[in-house]
């Protein structure tokens, strides 16, 4: 466990660097931290990979600055991490808003350090509804979400995680303890960062970033994702990246790293070994 000081809008960034082998950097989603990768860390270490998790600024054990919650800064933070650890031949794995960091990092810093990339339930290429993205999400949805978080962040997360893990459709999908665990992580985050990250993942256009992807890329998504539906995100990302592989998780909600952990690990390890996705999940 360690911290580094970032170069853009300086703050302390917390990370864990475990094991040996090809490095895999896991980038978490909103409003969680690197702790969400618990099941994947164990599987990757057992598979012989050096496994690195990092808490985004404002979340987990990283610093909680008042500013810097935009994707150019997040990408700079990721670049600081890769540079500080001198990582090459790295695999970048981004979940949900973490996929935006993978996209913007490649868009700004290129593929020199990167061997492969994986988008898991990720927000690229562009969530916001605009004239050239007519099937995106209306801006009002993100504005209402920011207003609700600013007004009652602690309580709104209960309903959010019910949908995040698909428990609103299947009460047995996750336990009460899993919901409580997720809320305990999210409650500890910066209130400012929690709200500002909605603006970041809601309004940032990653289409130009995806055009720079030349490495093997996996797009892994749940077919019942109510938070970031496949049709508005993963399907378009796969179409934008030539030769990318798509794997779908049957009945998979947004929080599939917890609900479908064994399948996620199987697909991810297969991709790491072969550079290809393993097709339809079961």
Angle at 199 between CA 177 and CA 268, to 5 degrees: 50
Nearest to 269 by CA among 56, 116, 88: 116
Q: Can 184 be counted among the known catalytic residues?
A: no
- The answer to whether residue 135 is catalytic is no
Q: How far is 155 from 149, CA to CA, in rounded Å? A: 9
Residue 236's CB is within 10 A of a number of other CB atoms, namely 21
SS3 string of the chain?
Answer: CEEEECCCCCCEEEEEEECCCCEEEEECCCCCCHHHHHHHHHHHHHCCCEEEEECCCCCCCCCCCCCCCCHHHHHHHHHHHHHHCCCCCEEEEEECHHHHHHHHHHHHHCCCCEEEEEEECCCCCCCECECCECCCECHHHHHHHHHHHHHHHHHHHHHHHHHHCCCCCCCCCCCHHHHHHHHHHHHCCCHHHHHHHHHHHHHCCCHHHHCCCCCCEEEEEECCCCCCCHHHCHHHHHHHCCCCEEEEECCCCCCHHHHCHHHHHHHHHHHHHHCCCCCCCC
From the list 244, 254, 260, 278, the catalytic residue is 254
Q: Which two tokens stand for residue 104?
A: 């913007």
Q: Which position among 33, 77, 225, 233 bears the catalytic label?
A: 225
Q: Of 33, 62, 76, 96, which residue is the catalytic one?
A: 96
221 tagged catalytic: no
**What is the rounded CA–CA span in Å between residue 5 and residue 33?**
18
173 is written with which tokens? 């999908």
Give the catalytic positions in this structure. 96, 225, 254
């Amino acid at each position: 466990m360690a911290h580094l000081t970032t170069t853009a809008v300086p703050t302390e960034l917390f990370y864990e660097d475990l094991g040996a082998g090809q490095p895999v950097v896991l980038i978490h989603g909103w409003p969680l931290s690197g702790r969400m990768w618990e099941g994947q860390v164990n599987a990757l270490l057992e598979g012989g990979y050096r496994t690195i998790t990092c808490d985004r600024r404002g979340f987990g054990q990283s610093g909680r600055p008042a500013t810097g919650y935009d994707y150019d800064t997040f990408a700079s933070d990721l670049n600081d991490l890769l540079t500080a650890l001198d990582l090459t031949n790295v695999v970048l794995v981004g979940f949900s808003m973490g996929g935006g960091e993978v996209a913007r990092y490649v868009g700004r810093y290129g593929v020199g350090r990167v061997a492969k990339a994986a988008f898991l339930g990720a927000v690229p290429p562009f969530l916001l509804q605009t004239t050239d993205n007519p099937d995106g999400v209306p801006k009002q949805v993100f504005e209402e979400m920011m207003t609700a978080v600013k007004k009652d962040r602690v309580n709104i997360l209960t309903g959010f995680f019910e949908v995040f893990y698909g428990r609103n459709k299947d009460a047995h999908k996750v336990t009460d303890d899993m919901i409580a665990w997720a809320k305990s992580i999210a409650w500890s985050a910066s209130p400012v960062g929690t709200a500002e990250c909605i603006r970041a993942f809601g309004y940032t256009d990653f289409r130009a970033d995806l055009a720079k992807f030349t490495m093997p890329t996996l797009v892994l998504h749940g077919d019942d994702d109510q938070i970031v539906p496949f049709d508005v995100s993963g399907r378009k990302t796969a179409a934008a990246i030539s030769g990318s592989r798509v794997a779908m998780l049957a009945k998979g909600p947004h929080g599939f790293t917890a609900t479908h952990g064994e399948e996620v690990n199987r697909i991810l390890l297969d991709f790491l070994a072969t550079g290809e996705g393993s097709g339809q999940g079961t």
